[in-house]
């Protein structure tokens, strides 16, 4: 069973640029959630995708957008990068649909630095 993988591991961008981060979910999982973890802080929920549709969103502006593909992998896109977007971006996959909490399995994260 393959765990959650993310790419790239590290990324450096400049202010105003756009970035795409990728996540492959764990085998058998149908849901991907994205979190932003600023330095010294806990992860903050960005959004979740369930069966290719956005299933919930945290307090993040529209320049944060995402996709989920038929194989349940996912992308996080951030437009017009700002310095405060520098953070570790975590992807988590789960198997949803039973109506109760289902454990989320986290990837190692992508470290984004905006200069």
Partner 1 sequence: GNSVTQMEGPVTLSEEAFLTINCTYTATGYPSLFWYVQYPGEGLQLLLKATKADDKGSNKGFEATYRKETTSFHLEKGSVQVSDSAVYFCALSDRSGYSTLTFGKGTMLLVSP
Residues of this chain that bind partner 1 (CB under 8 A) = 4, 31, 33, 35, 40-45, 48, 50, 55-56, 58, 90, 92, 94, 96, 99-104, 106-109
Residues forming a β-bridge with 90: 35
CB of 24 to partner 1, least distance (A): 13
CB of 15 to partner 1, least distance (A): 26
Residue whose CB is less far from partner 1, 4 or 78: 4
Residue whose CB is less far from partner 1, 81 or 94: 94
Contact 54, 71 (CB under 8 A): no
CB of 64 to partner 1, least distance (A): 15
My answer on whether omega of the bond before 44 falls inside 30° of 0, hence cis, is no
Question: Strand locations in 41-84, DSSP E?
Answer: 44-50, 53-57, 64-68, 74-78
């Amino acid at each position: 069973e393959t765990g959650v993988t993310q790419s790239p591991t590290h990324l450096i961008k400049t202010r105003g640029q756009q970035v795409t981060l990728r996540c492959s979910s764990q085998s058998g999982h149908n849901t991907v959630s994205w979190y932003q973890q600023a330095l010294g802080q806990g992860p903050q929920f960005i959004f979740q995708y369930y069966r290719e549709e956005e299933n919930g969103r945290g307090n993040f502006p529209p320049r944060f957008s995402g996709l989920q593909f038929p194989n349940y992998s996912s992308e996080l896109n951030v437009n017009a990068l700002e310095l405060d977007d520098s953070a570790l971006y975590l992807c988590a996959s789960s198997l949803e649909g039973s109506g109760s909490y289902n454990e989320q399995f986290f990837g190692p994260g992508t470290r984004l630095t905006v200069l």
